[in-house]
Amino acid sequence: EEGGEKDFPVLNTLRRKHMSVDVVDRASGSAYVESGRTKVVCTVHGPKTDTWSSLFSEHGRISCFVTISAFSGSDGERREERREEEERAAELGILPALQSAINLLKYPKSVIEVHVSVVEADGDLLSPCIVCASLALAHAGVEMYDLVASSSLALRRKEGFMLEPGAGLTEHDGSLSLSYMPNRREVTQLVQVGQWEQEEVARAMKVGLRACRSTHALMRLALLQHQEKEEE
- 78-88 residue pLDDT tens: 567 788 899 99
Lowest mean pLDDT among 4-13, 16-25, 56-65, 140-149: 4-13
Where residue 27 falls among pLDDT bands split at 50, 70, 90?
A: very high
* 11, HSE (Cβ side, Cα atoms, 13 Å): 16
Which structural domain, as residue segments, surrounds residue 124?
Answer: 4-231
Closest among 47, 71, 70 to 59, alpha carbons compared: 47
Cα(148)–Cα(162) distance, integer angstroms: 21
Predicted pLDDT at 55 = 63
Mean pLDDT throughout 51-55? 67
Residues 194, 155: contact at Cβ < 8 Å? yes
Closest among 147, 99, 94, 160 to 124, alpha carbons compared: 94
Cα(134)–Cα(142) distance, integer angstroms: 10
Predicted pLDDT at 4 = 43
- Residues near 8 by Cβ (< 8 Å), separated by ≥ 6? 160, 161, 200, 203, 204, 207
Number of separate domains in the chain = 1
Report the percentage of the chain scoring pLDDT > 70: 90
Predicted pLDDT at 168 = 72
* CATH number of the structural domain spanning residue 61: 3.30.230.70
| Between 187 and 77, residue with greater pLDDT | 187
Predicted pLDDT at 1 = 39
